[in-house]
Amino acid sequence: MVLPNPVIGSQPWGAVLNARLDDLQSQIDQRPVQAGWQATDQGLLVWTYDVSAAVNSSALTAGVLAVARVVLRRAATISNLYMNVATGGVTLTAGQNFGALYDAAGTRVGVTADQSASWTSVGLKTMALTVPYNALAGYYWIAMLANGATPPSLSRGSIIAAVNAGASGATLRYAQTGAALTTAPASFVPAGLTASSLPWWMAVS
């Protein structure tokens, strides 16, 4: 049914306006909910993708910061980082294994305590930031840095170059930076990131 436009001052313009508002609400109510399982359905703020798709794993490269880009749709306080260790690291170097959070400019806005002990065992890792970060809506990078004899293997999706389709430099979805790093750097240059075909599963809450 096509409803006429209300004309203020005519009779009965209020009834026409109310009818149009009711029709709009009906359309809103009938819209389908967002398809697929969302991070918020599991109490998380955002993830790189549905964790059920992380059916493979690869080892982190010692001394190299692995980053995954996510978009936070609304402002929120970020307190924890998440990833899953599929194979525990061996003889990890104490004080040189960290998770970190970076903003769109590549500035570190959060870092975890050392994860050397935790990353030697398998399973989901919930890593608290040393100081929770009050994040505005926007893009962020979740990052992991490992060092030791055998770095841990993290859960990931399928390796395909297309994970970065349409992106480069500062807009890469999966990337890496640095060499021989022993701590999460205070910043990096987003435009200088190197693309990675490893689609890590990472998340924040």
Same domain, 101 and 193: yes
6 and 98 co-located in one domain: no
* Total domains, the chain: 2
Same structural domain, 104 and 168: yes
* Global confidence as pTM: 0.84
- CA of 152: how far to CAs of 13, 52, 132, 170, in Å? 68, 20, 25, 26
Do 108 and 16 lie in one domain? The reply is no
Whether residues 192 and 152 fall in one domain: yes
Q: For residue 29, name the pLDDT band (cuts at 50, 70, 90).
A: low
How many other β-carbons are positioned within 10 Å of the β-carbon of residue 81?
25
- Is 2 a residue whose pLDDT tops 90? no
52 close to 123: Cβ distance less than 8 angstroms: no
The confidence band for 9, taking pLDDT boundaries of 50, 70 and 90, is low
Residue 36: pLDDT band (50, 70, 90) is confident
3 and 47 fall within a common domain: no
- The span from the CA of 39 to the CA of 43, in Å, is 7
45 and 88, same domain (yes or no)? yes
Judgement on whether residues 47 and 117 belong to the same structural domain of the protein: yes
Assess whether 105 and 75 both reside in one domain.
yes
Residues 29-45 have a mean pLDDT of 78
pLDDT at 1: 46
Residue 17 has pLDDT above 70, yes or no: no
Tell me: do 53 and 20 sit in the same domain. Answer: no
- Mean pLDDT over residues 76-90, rounded? 98
Which domain range does residue 113 map to?
Answer: 39-204
What CATH number has the domain bearing residue 196?
Answer: 2.60.120
Higher local confidence (pLDDT), 106 or 17: 106
What are the pLDDT digits (tens) for 89-132? 999 999 999 999 999 999 999 999 999 999 999 999 999 999 99
- Do 169 and 192 reside in the same domain of the chain? yes
158-187: per-residue pLDDT in tens? Answer: 998 899 999 999 999 999 999 999 999 999
Contact 63, 147 (CB under 8 A): yes
Q: Are residues 67 and 144 in the same domain?
A: yes
